[in-house]
Amino acid sequence: MKDTYEFQRIEEKWQRVWEDRKAFHVTEDPSRPKFYCLEMYPYPSGRIHMGHVRNYSIGDVIARFLTMKGLAVLHPIGWDALGMPAENAAIQHGVHPREWTLGNIDHMRAQLKRMGFSYDWDREVNSCQPDYYKWNQWIFLKMFEKGLAFRKESWVNWCPQCRTVLANEQVVTGSCWRCDTAVTQKKMEQWFLKITDYADELLAGHELLRKWPEHVLQMQKNWIGRSTGAHVHFGLEGSARTIEVFTTRLDTIFGATFLVVSPEHPLVPDLIAGRRDLETWAAKTVAGKRMKREIGETEKEGVDTGKKAVNPFNGERIPVWLANYVLMDYGTGAIMAVPAHDERDFEFARDYGIAIRTVIAPPGQEATRYDAEPAEVFIEPGVLVNSGPFSGLRSKEAMDKMGAYAEEKGFGRRSTAYRLRDWGISRQRYWGTPIPIIYCETCGTSGVPYGDLPVEIPYDVEITGAEGSPLERLESFVRTTCPKCGGPARRETDTMDTFVDSSWYFFRYCSPRERTLPFTRKASSYWLPVDLYIGGVEHAILHLIYSRFFTKVLRDFDLTGVSEPFPHYLAQGMVTKDGSAMSKSKGNIVDPDDILKEYGADALRVFILFASPPDKEFAWSEEGLEGCFRFLVRVWTLVLENLDLFAAGTEGETRPGPSSDPAVGLTRKTHRTVRKVGEDIQVRLHLNTAVSSLMEFLNAIRKVKDALRETPDGRTALRRALETFIALLSPFAPHMAEELWERTGRRGLVMNSAWPAYDPELAREELATIVVQVNGRLRDKFEAEPGLPEAEMETRALALPRIQGLLGGRRPRKVVCVKDKLVNIVA
């Protein structure tokens, strides 16, 4: 047989072997340490893309490496299989969402197998199968029992294109996260999950997430948006009602010159009764683009209601305005406007000619008189002025005292507010988990009895894309009997946001065929938490907050002891080409299938791991890929040219000795590479430098191989280097590694062999000899580990006694360093 590198044949061969032997199957083994390596499960859109290849290649190296290190490694995959695109395919191509989804899954599963990923396929989960989403319903019912799932009428984000409600998290700068259509507002009855009950714990949990990227924690923190301040009731003149505001700056309340109420506020109909002009304005504003209002993109607009509110601190009457820059969702939907000390209020007051009054002076300037309207806004804390009995206090102290005063008088309280809202999960779509609720005219709202789960997604349905849920029009689905009275009743037709599915799938992997619970305590307590979670940073808010929330809820249901599911999250960088992210619209997509055909899975894996660290952007380049392919060909050739070394009876010695002996030199290089590659993978997750160490190792072997073949010791060193190389290569290029392992006569699979050990003495980096010159003449030298920073080289050279003697206490005029070689001192 010819010995060219026939990657296609080799890759198919080993994929078959792995499959036949169930090589990636893993079970709980209390005698071994475990590792749960998880990549975000994909949406089955039809084909895997380079982002997937990168994400999964990173995880696969870690999983294979730790398996060789002797750990029990759980490395599962599944499908986030419910959601909109399947319905769009049904509308556009007339194919049933179920067939479309399952067909895509089959195709993508085959693609993942062609990449050689070491998934335990016995644990595959698929969220569109009733045996999975049954447990969404089960968890929902538990939450319903505890009041964590509830229904209320509310303003919701509505995507006119997708014809469904969106969670706040799914509205990206005013547009639908999926289709980019501008989002509008609608008032609807919706199901919510009470994530706000966990707001404080979600924040506090960040303390445990030390292995998360800082910016991701910051994004979550901003999203939760905890702020401390006070709630204060302003009286409404001529009414028994009050308007409640939340403020983080109670110290500025004497500067409140107007009150602003959101047009969605429940008091608005009273405030503007009989004023057609105001009603029109409010209706128009409410229907507008909410996120634009929220991020301050729209021009600030408002109308004076003519009503007056009374400031409880000083009895002052101030006008009540409606304005688009206040949202019902945040705080109480009303604010006290303090234009002198808040930028938005300042702008608004200037535009509409409302009074501006200074009540906070910069520290040290409180003696100045502040009668005139200020020309600029001052938002820092300071010292109170024009604030009655509180004048002269510093902001912080004033907030405490004024809060206490409000509590004592009964018109306010010190409090905390959050930006986080409860999670609206109702979707008016077909291809989602039916919400297991039944409405009866007599008995009201009931959960579907647990024994009747799952409520299956009916197959026989017409999907036209018309407004409203297709389930709503399916009488056979809607009509049911009430579990309480047995009378006729109606099913809820909303389905769950698919982010519910992905909020707990990592538990399901632990016991994927469990039939009595979503997962067993035994298996999940062995595997969880996930030791390394890898996926795109676009999930920083949605998925990664929801999963943390679900885990805490499941813990409170006593189903798990884990509070934080992902103590280590690696946000993998983007895949780009020609300077921008690969995307259909940019037309710069490289299809993994084409690359598999031309170069094979091993070359693609090596390249995608080599070209940049996992958390950094990765720029696609054909030349880079070719370079990695050539590297593999050189490995192939080198091993096969030296196969004779692996025949019996070539055992020599590896004695410690000078590195100038090429056999000893290569042995040292071998041990050093084992150490370096292991540390790069495990300690630093620098898979790119691990690959470059292998490339260096290859070059080192090639340089000395001919000389080494001449002596018994040399042959032993060479053989050991080669077999070590194959083992180190196997997490990255597993097919080639298996093939070479077999050809060198090793038994079993390299993936099941032990990761090579290294001798710390032999693995020590060789010291560099650094020459020290003074005024161009060699005066001394010292040894140092390679790569010493220049500043450190300089310090060490100047500390040498001979050099100190020569300098006689004077500082050198100049020092020039050449890394690992030379320090030149100009005295």
Pattern of binders to Zn ion over 596-635, x per CB under 5 A? Answer: ----------------------------------------
Q: Which of residues 514-533 bind Zn ion (CB under 5 A)?
A: none
Task: State in angstroms the smallest separation of the CB of 420 from Zn ion.
Answer: 23
Task: State in angstroms the smallest separation of the CB of 66 from Zn ion.
Answer: 40
- Residue closer to Zn ion by CB (options 176, 354) is 176
- Residue closer to Zn ion by CB (options 171, 609) is 171
Q: Which of residues 97-136 bind Zn ion (CB under 5 A)?
A: none
- Residue closer to Zn ion by CB (options 179, 818) is 179
Rounded to whole angstroms, the Cα distance separating 719 from 189 reads 72
Q: Which of residues 455-484 bind Zn ion (CB under 5 A)?
A: 482, 484
**Binding footprint of Zn ion, residue count (CB under 5 A):** 13
Tokens 């003697």 identify what position? 805
Task: State in angstroms the smallest separation of the CB of 297 from Zn ion.
Answer: 19
Rounded to whole angstroms, the Cα distance separating 632 from 640 reads 12
- Residue closer to Zn ion by CB (options 181, 563) is 181
Range in contact with Zn ion (rule: CB under 5 A) among 75-83, 170-178, 266-274, 776-784: 170-178
- Residue closer to Zn ion by CB (options 443, 807) is 443
Task: State in angstroms the smallest separation of the CB of 264 from Zn ion.
Answer: 22
CB of 528 closer than 8 Å to CB of 565: yes
Record the tokens describing residue 819, joined without a space: 């890394």
Task: State in angstroms the smallest separation of the CB of 225 from Zn ion.
Answer: 25
- Residue closer to Zn ion by CB (options 84, 354) is 84
- Residue closer to Zn ion by CB (options 487, 745) is 487
DSSP annotation of 339: G
Q: Which of residues 663-702 bind Zn ion (CB under 5 A)?
A: none
Residue 568 found at the interface with Zn ion (CB under 5 A): no
Beta pairing class for 383-384 and 360-361: antiparallel
Q: Which of residues 484-503 bind Zn ion (CB under 5 A)?
A: 484-485
- Specify which residues 447 forms β-bridges with: 437
Task: State in angstroms the smallest separation of the CB of 85 from Zn ion.
Answer: 11
* Nearest Cα residue to 769 out of 810, 818, 807, 710: 818
- Residue closer to Zn ion by CB (options 263, 432) is 432
Task: State in angstroms the smallest separation of the CB of 444 from Zn ion.
Answer: 8
- HSE, side-chain direction, 13 A CA sphere, residue 520: 11
Rounded to whole angstroms, the Cα distance separating 317 from 334 reads 16
Listing DSSP states for 167-226 in one string gives -GGGEETTEETTT-PBPEEEEEEEEEE-GGGGHHHHHHGGGG-TBS-HHHHHHHHHHH--
Rounded to whole angstroms, the Cα distance separating 393 from 384 reads 6
What is the Cα 58 distance to its own chain's centre?
Answer: 15
Task: State in angstroms the smallest separation of the CB of 431 from Zn ion.
Answer: 14
Rounded to whole angstroms, the Cα distance separating 350 from 660 reads 81
- Residue closer to Zn ion by CB (options 235, 424) is 424
- Residue closer to Zn ion by CB (options 263, 447) is 447
Burial 774-793 (b: 16+ CB within 10 A, else e): beeeebbebeeeeebeeeeb
Q: Which of residues 423-452 bind Zn ion (CB under 5 A)?
A: 440, 442-443
Q: Which of residues 135-164 bind Zn ion (CB under 5 A)?
A: 159, 161-162
Rounded to whole angstroms, the Cα distance separating 812 from 827 reads 5
Rounded to whole angstroms, the Cα distance separating 411 from 149 reads 32
CB of 528 closer than 8 Å to CB of 563: no
* Binding region for Zn ion (CB under 5 A): 159, 161-162, 176, 178-179, 181, 440, 442-443, 482, 484-485
